[in-house]
């Protein structure tokens, strides 16, 4: 099913979704990690410190860890509440199919910084209260979720609109004719 989604996304945007997403994310990862390390003050500082500590505990050759840290940090940096959209449970039987848009990850980790697991056993992609797809990787499931939202012309989840707009405009350069980002993303 993901091949059909990628094909439809390519038809709409003339971009190969996973390649475009991950290459742009890799390009921005070093600068975003530096930005997060500099802004370690206040409530943001405490939360980003958790994300960076979890990242530091990962294998340095694991590119997925850097990508995950950047996206988890971005949620915190944009001060967006991901708890309704990115949910974690301990086994597959706890997966609830509630929500217009959601990623529900089954992760063995006790504490998951910013609700983004570095490793997941299973990730369910939910649209309109139905599991539409599943994946083993949280990052790949996020790419699929973005592709589904974009291709189906769904609204971004209200509490994560800045996060998904960052993916759309900054990472994938799909600005839909807009000349500027929202002020929240410009800063």
Per-residue pLDDT tens digits for 116-171: 888 888 898 988 888 899 898 999 999 999 999 999 999 999 999 999 999 999 99
Q: Which two tokens stand for residue 36?
A: 């997060």
CA dist 74 and 33 (Å) reads 10
Q: Tell me the per-residue pLDDT of 57-72, one tens digit each, with 9 for 90 and over.
A: 888 788 998 999 999 9
| Residue listed under structure tokens 């769904």 | 154
Task: State how far the alpha carbon of 2 is from the alpha carbons of 44, 48, 114, 145, in Å.
Answer: 35, 32, 26, 10
Question: Does the structure show a pLDDT above 70 at 13?
Answer: yes
∠ CA 168-170-171, rounded to 5°: 70
Question: Does the structure show a pLDDT above 60 at 179?
Answer: no
CA dist 138 and 158 (Å) reads 20
Which pLDDT belongs to residue 151? 92
Q: Which two tokens stand for residue 60?
A: 């340095």
Q: Tell me the per-residue pLDDT of 89-117, one tens digit each, with 9 for 90 and over.
A: 877 666 666 677 888 888 876 667 777 88
Pick from 89, 67, 61: nearest CA to 21: 67
Domain ranges of the chain: 2-186
∠ CA 27-45-56, rounded to 5°: 55
Which pLDDT belongs to residue 139? 94
Q: What is the pTM of this model?
A: 0.88
The dihedral through the CA atoms of 128, 129, 133, 135 has a sign that is: positive
Q: Which two tokens stand for residue 91?
A: 């086994």
- Which run of H or E residues covers position 87? strand 86-89
């Amino acid at each position: 099913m993901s091949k059909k989604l990628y094909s439809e996304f390519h038809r709409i945007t003339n971009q190969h979704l996973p390649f475009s997403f991950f290459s742009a994310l890799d390009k921005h990862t070093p600068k975003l990690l530096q930005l997060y390390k500099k802004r370690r003050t206040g409530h943001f500082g405490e939360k980003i410190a958790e994300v960076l500590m979890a990242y530091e505990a990962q294998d340095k050759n694991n590119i997925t860890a850097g990508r995950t840290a950047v996206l988890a940090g971005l949620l915190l940096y944009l001060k967006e509440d991901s708890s309704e959209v990115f949910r974690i449970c301990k086994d597959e039987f706890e997966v609830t199919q509630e929500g217009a848009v959601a990623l529900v990850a089954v992760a063995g980790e006790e504490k998951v910084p910013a609700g983004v697991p570095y490793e997941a056993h299973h990730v369910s992609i939910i649209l309109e209260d139905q599991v539409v797809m599943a994946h083993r990787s949280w990052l790949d499931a996020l790419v699929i979720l973005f592709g589904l939202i974009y291709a189906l012309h769904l609204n971004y989840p209200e509490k994560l609109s800045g996060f998904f707009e960052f993916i759309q405009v900054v990472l994938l350069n799909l600005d839909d004719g807009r000349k500027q980002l929202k002020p929240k993303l410009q800063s």
